[in-house]
Each structure stands twice: as C-alpha cells, then as structure tokens.
C-alpha cells in the first residue's frame, strides 16, 4: 500500500503540469458567477419596480381618459366610445370613486371575474417583489384590478388582463439577462487577464524557479531573483530568496562537515597506529633512571593513553558520538594541575597560571571527559592571551571552583580581550563560535557536549575584564531506596 502511494507522488524537482481546470479558469468561472449573482440581486427589485411602474402608467393613462370624459358626465358614453377607451387602455373596465360615490366610466359587455387586486398606494417593496414574481410565475389569463389615487381623495380603478403585463416583464427580464451575460463576460475577461498578469504568471515563474533550484540546491545561480514588486507577491519572492540562500549556506556547511568527517576517519586510522608506536617508545623512556625523565614520563604516558582513547572513540563530527561519562569522585585540583602541565602554562614566560581550586574539592565526573573540557577552555584562553601584543597588559589565566550543595561550579578566567560580540551569538556551535581567526569553534562545541552529557551547563559570564567561562557539574542523583537503606543502617 505504501509503495503504491509513493509511486503516485510526483518526483521532487520534477515538472508539475497544471490540470485543465487551472487557477485562471477557476477565476474566470468564479467571476462570471459573482457578476451574475450581483445582477440577480439587482434584478429582483428592478423587476418589481418595472411591474409597479407599468401599473402606474396604466393608471395615469386611465386618469387622463377619465378626466377627458368627465365633460360627458351628464350623458352616458356610447358602447362604441367605451370600447374605444378600453381598447386604448387594454382593459376590461374603468371606474372612478369621488366623494364616496363610485362611477363606472367604461366596461365591456362581459368582463371576467377579478383574480387579483393591487392597490398601488399600499405596495411596500417586499409586497411589490412578491406581486412581481407572482405575475412571472403564476400569471396565466388572470384579471387584475389596479387601484390608484384620483383627484385628491378619490381613487381610480382599472380592470385588465395580466397577459400583456407579463409579456412586457418577460421581455424586460430577457433584456436584463442578455445584458448581464454581456457584462459578466466582459468583466470575467478583464479580471482573467488582470489576475493572470498580476498573480498567475508571477506564481508560475516562482514555481519554475523552485523546480530548477530543487534539481541543484547548491547552485547559487538558481536562487530566485526578486522582481522588486511592493505587494504580497514581491514579499513572497523576497522570503523565498532568503530561504534559498539560508538553505544554500546550510548545505554548504553540511558538505563541509561530511568532508571533515571523512577526513577525520582517515586521519584517525593512521593516528591511532602512530600513537600506539609512541606509547611503546614512552614505555622505554619510563625505564631511564634520569630524575627529569621520571618526573615527566608518567604524565607523558597518561597523555598518550588519553590520545589513544580519543582516537579509538572515532569522533566523526557531523554525527558526534561520545561515550556516556563514567563518573567517579575526582580531586579537581589535581586534574586542573594536569591540564596546566599538558599545556605548559606553569612554565610559560608571559602568562601567569593560577590553580585556585581548593585541594579538598571533589567533583563527580568522568575524569577524561572533564579533562578534555578544561583543556579546550584553557587552551583557548592561553591563545587569546598570547595574541595580545601589548606587553603592559596583565596576562593571567585562573581556574577556580567551589561547591554549592550538590553542584560544583568551575570558572576559567583570563585577562585577555574577551569574546567578540559576533562570536557570542554562536559560541558553542561548530565552525561558527570561534573568536580567533583560523579557529573552527570545535573546542567549545565539544566542551558543551561533554558538559551536557554530565547533566550540567556551560556558559560565558559577563562580569569580568576578559573571558569567564562557567561550568556547573551536578552530582549524580542518589536513588531514594539507597538513601532509606543507609539511614536505616
């Protein structure tokens, strides 16, 4: 099932062909639908107003005819005259009501019964819309009696067939439909080309650029070049370019780390053999009775043993694998003294070496790993002091420590120039936290990793004239069962 789903996925960096119903077509259809919806919202009140206006026009015409025929009020109109008037009005009957008296002006011989009554004086908008759609949907040879105002308080009535009114309304609706289609089509075309120029084409350009960049992310020339637009598309291009540049730098660093890991593996293979040979020769030196040799030979042997242990651990950076710390109680003063002897600081001509660790202070740690941590920090401080060209400056390197409860705090202090602000941002990151030209920053990165393996922390303090690194190593937690057993005994 998984293989089938994977086979359906497009390959990374491959060309993705948009479907037939793409974004541009969707925009075109949506524009037509929205314009037609807007026209429909306009059509509903307009058709109601069209019917009301048509009835009002018929009533006005009937009013003019009724006033013209009022001169013949004393005489009844002849059937021929009534037929002429009704024919002009396209009506069945015409009547007026004045002072409460209703007068029939004209009427056909057999008018059909009235099916609907519309009083134009009492026709709110909602009722007008309802009456209009009643005519369009249900209108079929029905008779309407329309009532309107006549000479002040009077009223005029016209009885007519709704067929003519419905025909006019259908013709009006047809014209509105044709006009709406024309407007929506024109608007859709304009919106289509506008959005294609403003959105679709820039997005296609970004997509093609990303596809080409995915084929070779390390090629700097394939990073997208922002068009300089000041809208959301321009902001997207700028952000994508920033992301691509960041990934380019990350890939460059990862390639460097991979090359370094391969180099370390090759060097480690030969270095381990060379150190083993050096260890054999140092064993012979230990047998020489010279006092100076006897004094330094054990330290040389211990240093070679540590070096062989490091080589066997095969630290391949990029995936640094350190052995878990083997913790024991260590006399920290003696460990710091060994660090000073290995670095040669006690006999240094221009640097004052101070081991300020109390002689009775013990730390629960792995001696080899803590030695490496202190060695890296002390060497960095010594190199910073050696690079200071001013002979009047005090060059002092101090290692101090104290215990607070179950935590031992170690401080490595120097009177050098301190850590630059730029290096502080990535202080414990490899290849980024070096404060010295030509440095890799690996020493601080390794020190931080070893301290974290002990459950401790390492950081740079900001309360000294030079660089002050603080290390906190907590004791191992004691199981509650052992504490209870010890108290019980």
Indicate the burial class of 68 (C-beta count within 10 angstroms; 0-12, 13-18, 19 or more). exposed
CATH number of the domain that 411 lies in?
3.30.565.10
Among 136, 168, 185, which residue terminates a domain? 185
Instruction: With respect to residue 261, please indicate whether it lies within any of the assigned structural domains.
Output: no
Give phi and psi for 251, each to the nearest 5. -65, -35
Give the range of the structural domain holding residue 414, as residue numbers without chain letter. 327-488
Q: What is the per-residue pLDDT for 72?
A: 55
Instruction: With respect to residue 481, please indicate whether it lies within any of the assigned structural domains.
Output: yes
Dihedral (C-alpha) 179, 181, 182, 185: value to the nearest 10 degrees?
160
Q: What is the per-residue pLDDT for 179?
A: 86
Instruction: With respect to residue 300, please indicate whether it lies within any of the assigned structural domains.
Output: no
Instruction: With respect to residue 34, please indicate whether it lies within any of the assigned structural domains.
Output: yes
Beta bridge partners of 156: 96, 148
Count of structural domains within the chain: 2
Q: What is the per-residue pLDDT for 20?
A: 56
> How far, in Å, CA of 195 to CA of 26, rounded?
11
Instruction: With respect to residue 281, please indicate whether it lies within any of the assigned structural domains.
Output: no
Q: What is the per-residue pLDDT for 293?
A: 63
Among 185, 209, 242, which residue terminates a domain? 185
Indicate the burial class of 395 (C-beta count within 10 angstroms; 0-12, 13-18, 19 or more). buried
Instruction: With respect to residue 254, please indicate whether it lies within any of the assigned structural domains.
Output: no
**What DSSP assignment string belongs to 378-432?**
HHHHHHHHHT---TTS--EEEEEEEEETTEEEEEEEE-SS---HHHHTTTTSTTT
Q: Which tokens go with 340?
A: 């000073």
Helix 291-313 × helix 332-343 angle, to 10°: 100
Q: What is the per-residue pLDDT for 7?
A: 45
Among 126, 158, 185, which residue terminates a domain? 185
With a threshold of 0.75, does the pTM exceed it? Answer: no
Instruction: With respect to residue 317, please indicate whether it lies within any of the assigned structural domains.
Output: no
Tens digit of pLDDT at every position of the chain (489 positions): 444 444 444 444 444 455 556 667 777 788 778 878 888 888 889 999 998 998 888 888 888 888 777 655 545 566 777 777 788 888 888 888 887 788 888 888 788 888 889 898 888 889 999 989 988 888 788 899 999 998 878 888 999 988 888 899 999 999 988 888 888 888 878 877 887 787 778 888 888 888 888 888 877 788 888 888 777 878 888 888 888 888 888 888 777 777 776 666 666 656 655 565 565 556 666 667 777 666 666 766 677 666 666 655 554 443 445 678 999 999 999 999 988 888 888 888 889 999 999 999 999 999 989 998 998 899 888 888 888 767 778 899 999 999 999 999 999 999 888 888 777 777 877 655 455 554 556 778 888 889 999 999 999 887 667 889 999 999 988 776 665 676 676
Nearest one of 383, 400, 382, 376 to 448, comparing CA atoms: 376
**What DSSP assignment string belongs to 292-359?**
HHHHHHHHHHHHHHHHHHHHHH---TTS--PPPP--EEEEHHHHHHHHHHHHTGGG-SS-EEEEES-T
Instruction: With respect to residue 200, please indicate whether it lies within any of the assigned structural domains.
Output: no
Q: What is the per-residue pLDDT for 14?
A: 45
- Do strands 468-474 and 407-414 pair parallel, antiparallel, or not at all (unpaired)? antiparallel
């Amino acid at each position: 099932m998984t293989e089938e789903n994977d086979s359906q996925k497009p390959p990374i960096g491959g060309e993705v062909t948009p479907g037939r119903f793409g974004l541009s077509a969707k925009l075109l259809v949506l524009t037509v639908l929205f314009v037609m919806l807007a026209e429909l919202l306009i059509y509903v009140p307009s058709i109601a107003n069209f019917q009301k206006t048509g009835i009002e026009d018929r009533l006005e015409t009937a009013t003019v005819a009724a006033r013209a025929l009022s001169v013949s009020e004393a005489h009844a109109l002849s059937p021929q005259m009534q037929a002429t008037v009704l024919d002009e009005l396209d009506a069945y009957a015409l009547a007026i009501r004045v002072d409460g008296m209703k007068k029939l002006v004209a009427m056909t011989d057999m008018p059909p019964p009235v099916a609907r009554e519309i009083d134009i004086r009492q026709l709110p908008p909602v009722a007008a819309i309802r009456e209009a759609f009643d005519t369009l949907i249900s209108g079929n040879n029905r008779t309407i009696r329309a009532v309107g105002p006549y000479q002040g308080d009077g009223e005029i009535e016209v009885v007519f067939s709704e067929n003519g009114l419905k025909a006019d309304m259908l013709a009006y609706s047809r014209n509105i439909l044709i006009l709406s289609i024309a407007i929506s089509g024109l608007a859709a075309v304009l919106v289509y080309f506008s959005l294609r120029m403003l959105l679709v084409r820039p997005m296609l350009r970004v997509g093609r650029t990303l596809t080409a960049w995915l084929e070779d992310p390390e090629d700097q020339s394939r990073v997208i070049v922002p068009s300089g637009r000041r809208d959301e598309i321009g902001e997207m291009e700028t952000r994508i370019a920033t992301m691509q540049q960041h990934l380019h730098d990350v890939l460059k660093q990862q390639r460097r780390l991979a090359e370094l890991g391969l180099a370390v593996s090759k060097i480690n293979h030969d270095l381990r053999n060379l150190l083993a040979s050096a260890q054999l020769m140092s064993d012979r030196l230990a047998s020489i009775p010279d006092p100076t040799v006897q004094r330094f030979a054990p330290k040389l042997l211990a240093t070679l043993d540590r070096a062989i242990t490091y080589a066997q651990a095969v630290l391949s950076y990029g995936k640094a694998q350190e052995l878990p710390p083997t913790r024991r109680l260590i006399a920290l003063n003696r460990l710091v003294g060994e660090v000073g002897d290995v670095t040669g600081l006690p006999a240094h001509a221009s640097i004052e070496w101070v081991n300020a660790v109390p002689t009775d202070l013990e730390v629960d740690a792995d001696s080899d790993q803590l030695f490496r941590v202190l060695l890296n920090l002390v060497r960095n401080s010594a190199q910073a002091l050696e690079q200071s060209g001013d002979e009047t400056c005090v060059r002092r390197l101090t290692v101090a420590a104290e215990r607070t409860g179950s935590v031992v705090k170690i401080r490595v202090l120097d009177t050098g120039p301190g850590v630059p602000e730029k290096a502080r941002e990535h202080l414990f990151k490899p290849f980024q936290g070096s404060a010295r030209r030509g440095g890799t920053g690996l020493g601080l990165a390794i020190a931080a990793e070893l301290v974290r393996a002990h459950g401790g922390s390492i950081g740079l303090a900001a309360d000294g004239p030079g660089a002050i690194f603080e290390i906190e190593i907590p004791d191992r937690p004691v199981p509650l069962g052992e504490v209870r057993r010890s108290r019980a005994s």
